[in-house]
């Protein structure tokens, strides 16, 4: 009888361990996917928001339009994000010239401890720049 209870306890402990590992792994994979989504969306939105009129008038200074960036970023992020997850997007800093943006995206989790919710937060600082010293067209900037 005692050996039977030990076997049941080991099986229950194994199931609980696998459940915890699965939960942690799903949060880690979700965090990684959210980070790459944030990175790719920010890069594409910055390139979409380049002000070509200002670029040609200023003689080669790249400027990113704030409204175009926000519109493109939110549209692209909403198209690619998971529909079952709640996101909080926070623009921390935005410079039009030179183009720089700092974005924070928080993801709600179901984990809580003593009434405090734990959220996974990704922060990204992105700078749109060129590595060339001679004047180039905006289309040539990677």
Residue 141 has what pLDDT?
Answer: 61
Does residue 57 carry a pLDDT above 80? yes
Residue 78, sorted as left (phi over 0), alpha (psi -120 to 50) or beta, turns out to be alpha
The secondary structure element, H or E, covering residue 90 is strand 87-95
Computed over every residue of the chain, the mean pLDDT equals 83
The model's pTM: 0.70
Confidence of residue 133 (pLDDT cuts 50, 70, 90): low
Q: Tell me how far apart the terminal alpha carbons of the chain are, to the nearest angstrom.
A: 70
Residue 132 has what pLDDT?
Answer: 56
d(CA 49, CA 46) in angstroms, rounded, equals: 5
């Amino acid at each position: 009888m005692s050996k039977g209870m030990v076997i049941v306890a080991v099986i229950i402990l194994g199931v609980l361990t696998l459940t915890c590992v699965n939960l942690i792994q799903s949060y880690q994979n979700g965090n990684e996917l959210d980070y790459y989504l944030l990175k790719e969306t920010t890069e594409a939105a910055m390139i979409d928001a380049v002000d070509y009129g200002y670029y040609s008038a200023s003689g080669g200074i790249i400027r990113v339009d704030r409204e175009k960036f926000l519109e493109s970023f939110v549209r692209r992020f909403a198209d690619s994000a998971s529909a079952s997850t709640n996101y909080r997007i926070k623009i921390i800093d935005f410079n039009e010239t030179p183009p720089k943006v700092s974005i924070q995206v928080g993801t709600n989790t179901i984990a809580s401890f003593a009434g405090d919710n734990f959220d996974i937060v990704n922060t990204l600082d992105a700078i749109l720049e060129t590595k060339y010293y001679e004047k180039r067209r905006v289309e040539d900037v990677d």
